[in-house]
Amino acid sequence: MKSFKTQSKRVLDLMINSIYTNKEIFLRELISNCSDAIDKLYYKGLKEGISGLTRNDFAITVTADKQKRTLTIADNGIGMTAEELENNLGTIARSGSLAFKTENAEEMKEGDINVIGQFGVGFYSAFMIAEKIEVYSKSYGSSDANLWVSEGAEGYDVIPCEMDGHGTKIVLHVKPDTEEDKFSTYLEEYQIRSLIKKYSDYIRYPIKTEVSKYKEQTEEEQKDGMPRESYVELETLNSMTPLWKKNKSEVTEEEYDGFYKDTFFDYEKPAKHVHVSVEGNVSYKAILYIPTKAPFNYYSKNYEKGLKLYTDGVLITEKCAELLPDYFSFVKGVVDSELSLNISRETIQQSRQLKLIGANIEKKIKSELLDLLKNDREKYEEFYKSFGMQLKYGIYQSYGMNKDTLIDLIMFKSVKEGKFVTLKEYTEALKEEDKFIYYGTAKTVEAVKSLPQCEGILDKGYDILCFSDDVDEFAIKMLGEYLGKTFKNILSEDVSSSEADDKLNLENKGILEEIANCLDGKVAKVKLASSLKTRPVSLSSEGEISLEMEKVLSQMPNGGEGLKANKVLEINPDHAIFEKLKKVYVENKDGLKDYAEILYFSARLVSGLSVEDSLETTDKIIELIAK
Ligand code: ADP
């Protein structure tokens, strides 16, 4: 007997001992594999011009045998060779979600087991209801058939067997009933029927099951009281029309949501769906979903964007990345278009048709998001908390080229009101002569409020936007302005200036220049700012790069190429420290350097910048106190 690979064994353990309440999904998983296997063969037939492989030749059958306690799921799809049986069913280590599932399997406690419902649980889910599984398979075009058999985590065998046609037949030996689980329900005709209707209705090949029927009786037979003769017949249970090919009016909200959850393995309802049917230059049908929450790996390298692409009902690729711009990478959905049949996974990139569909879809998503923003603010904000960063990142990454698409969709927390406002809402509250959209960079509204310059600006009646993500300031640099108003960091040097201060600065030019000299080029200038109110010192910046940007840049792999903000040391003229500085300047000019360094050191600290010479400077502070 061969052992399962370690990771597979863990998933298997989870499945076998599963207390997962939704055991019934095993049937959906197996049927979906059958459908994929048929797709593969049908697609191969089309591409290679193999005759005798038309749609009508394909079927999936589900048969129950109550005596033997077996449930058999068979397809006449592409099948598997011995090697494929081994690789596909002996190892599970492919998709990101599975990697997550298996890595965490050990830590998963019983109560966490519902987590598995978030993912495509695949073939192994059959072990939730079966104590033994046999997989008979014959690869298309091969004369050998093989049997893969396993009774659980111990391992599996692959041995040669006999089989008529190509395809795969899976025999599940259903577990004995227990107090909690009546596994025999999966052998009941009504149950099979209802599970197929519920989960697999839109599978594009007929799913047939044996249905018991009674022969019609003639009147005479009825009179004689003859028992009705029964027979079994294969009946197709699914409607076979994919959801996206149905009319909107035929599909219920539950069906849209259910399709989303089943297909994209999300346990939350989507924030919105849109069902599109476009006829024209390019024709396509699509169902697009805007999720509410980001999947666990969304902001990581492992996340792959893309829409499921079908051409006339045949799956071409699970994730067609070309159909979605990066900034809408959270969108899930299916697209079905009559593309030329030569299209393969390799030629997708060059397809002009796909480009047109992509452009069209982008517009649709934008308008759906705007609609959500306008008509269901609460839902939009929930969506925005998950994906807002991606939208802002989109503006930054494309050097602002996509701003027309994205600008109306972004929001920031208002410092005045503590809630999200759009840029439009912010600007609408301004007077015509107002020039600036003020923002403060800090993780929270509260933290912006504690920035020295905040109070003064709020006092003047302006609101301030809280830029809480690293990308925010970089993104708005790409925008430059919005509706004629310029973005202004409240820590810019010119925000705090006033005529009275200008005068004061001129009068004290000598001492201020001397302090700047003492700092050896670390600051671009030193100035007095009465807007500091109760604070002794602060740092601001002039020019393009703000203090926050310097922080973000310095954390990048290349250290931001040494890009630094032009810093301005602001001193509060109304604070006692200024009197002291003036005294030192007059009485002991050489002593000024220590003061300048301590002030600069403190200003860096309160601005959240790193301090390099901390030992030296703290020694100086103590020395001064000791004097
Ligand atoms: P997934 O379908 O997510 O890849 P599964 O565990 O359900 O994972 O299946 C593993 C693999 O086994 C499939 O990718 C497929 O290659 C193969 N397989 C499963 N069922 C069938 C089938 N009925 N016919 C052919 N191949 C199959």
Q: Cβ(37) to ligand 1 under 6 A?
A: yes
Average pLDDT over residues 361-378: 96
Write the residue with the smallest CA distance to atom 21 of ligand 1. Answer: 33
Q: How confident is residue 116, by pLDDT bands cut at 50, 70 and 90?
A: very low
What is the model's pLDDT at position 239?
85
Q: Cβ(168) to ligand 1 under 6 A?
A: yes
Residue 102 has pLDDT above 50, yes or no: no
Distance, CA of 575 to CA of 243 (rounded, Å)? 71
Average pLDDT over all residues of the chain: 87
Instruction: Using the atom order of ligand 1, give the atom closest to the CA of residue 75.
Output: 23
**243-381 CATH pick, 1.10.287.620, 3.30.450.270, 1.20.1250.20, 3.30.230.80:** 3.30.230.80
How would you write 524-544 as a 3-class SS string? CEEEECHHHCCCCEEEEEECC
Distance, CA of 30 to CA of 9 (rounded, Å)? 19
Instruction: Report the separation in Å between the CA atom of 94 and the middle of ligand 1, taken as the mean of its atom positions.
Output: 12
Q: How many residues does the chain have?
A: 627
Task: Give the H/E segment covering residue 71.
Answer: strand 70-75
Q: Cβ(20) to ligand 1 under 6 A?
A: no
The DSSP call for residue 236 is E
CB 126 within 8 A of CB 170: yes
Instruction: Using the atom order of ligand 1, give the atom closest to the CA of residue 92.
Output: 6
Distance, CA of 214 to CA of 229 (rounded, Å)? 6
Which fold does the domain 410-489 belong to in CATH?
Answer: Rossmann fold (3.40.50)
- Looking at the chain, the whole-number percentage of residues with pLDDT higher than 70 is 92
Residue of 456 and 429 predicted with greater confidence: 429
Residue of 4 and 521 predicted with greater confidence: 521
- Looking at the chain, the whole-number percentage of residues with pLDDT higher than 90 is 54
| Residues ≥6 apart with Cβ < 8 Å to 583 | none
Residue 416 has pLDDT above 90, yes or no: yes
Residue 325 has pLDDT above 80, yes or no: yes
Q: How confident is residue 98, by pLDDT bands cut at 50, 70 and 90?
A: very low
Residue in this structure with the two tokens 């055991």, named with its chain if needed: 23
Instruction: Report the separation in Å between the CA atom of 298 and the middle of ligand 1, taken as the mean of its atom positions.
Output: 25
Average pLDDT over residues 388-397: 92
Instruction: Using the atom order of ligand 1, give the atom closest to the CA of residue 98.
Output: 3
Average pLDDT over residues 414-438: 95
Average pLDDT over residues 231-251: 90
Residue 340 has pLDDT above 70, yes or no: no
What is the model's pLDDT at position 348?
59
CATH superfamily membership of 9-236:
Histidine kinase-like ATPase, C-terminal domain (3.30.565.10)
User: What is the full DSSP assignment across 571-612?
Assistant: E-TTSHHHHHHHHHHHH-GGGHHHHHHHHHHHHHHHTT---S
Residue 122's identity, in one-letter code, is: G
Q: Cβ(358) to ligand 1 under 6 A?
A: no
Q: How confident is residue 219, by pLDDT bands cut at 50, 70 and 90?
A: confident
Identify which of 83, 123, 135 to mutate to test ligand 1's pocket (most ligand atoms within 8 A of the CB).
Answer: 123
Could you tell me the residue ranges of all domains in the chain? 9-236, 243-381, 410-489, 491-627
What is the model's pLDDT at position 349?
54
Average pLDDT over residues 591-616: 88
Write the residue with the smallest CA distance to atom 23 of ligand 1. Answer: 34
Q: Where are the alpha helices (DSSP H) in 274-351?
A: none
Instruction: Using the atom order of ligand 1, give the atom closest to the CA of residue 122.
Output: 7
Average pLDDT over residues 447-455: 85
Identify which of 31, 36, 94, 166 to mutate to test ligand 1's pocket (most ligand atoms within 8 A of the CB).
Answer: 36
Distance, CA of 95 to CA of 167 (rounded, Å)? 24
Instruction: Using the atom order of ligand 1, give the atom closest to the CA of residue 120.
Output: 3
Beta strands in 415-455 (DSSP E): 420-422, 436-441
Instruction: Report the separation in Å between the CA atom of 191 and the middle of ligand 1, taken as the mean of its atom positions.
Output: 24
Per-residue pLDDT reduced to its tens digit, 243-275:
899 999 989 998 899 889 878 888 889 999 999
Q: Please compute, for residue 522, the number of CA atoms within 13 A of its CA located in the half-sphere on the CB side.
A: 18
Q: How confident is residue 112, by pLDDT bands cut at 50, 70 and 90?
A: very low
Task: Identify the architecture of domain 491-627 in CATH.
Answer: Up-down Bundle (1.20)
Q: Cβ(45) to ligand 1 under 6 A?
A: no
What is the model's pLDDT at position 121?
61
- Lowest mean per-residue pLDDT among 76-80, 190-194, 215-219: 215-219
Residue 90 has pLDDT above 80, yes or no: no
- Under DSSP, is residue 170 helix (H, G, I), strand (E, B) or coil? strand
- Under DSSP, is residue 329 helix (H, G, I), strand (E, B) or coil? coil
Average pLDDT over residues 503-523: 94
CB 15 within 8 A of CB 110: no
What is the model's pLDDT at position 415?
96
Task: Give the H/E segment covering residue 622.
Answer: helix 614-626
What is the model's pLDDT at position 137?
98
CB 174 within 8 A of CB 187: yes
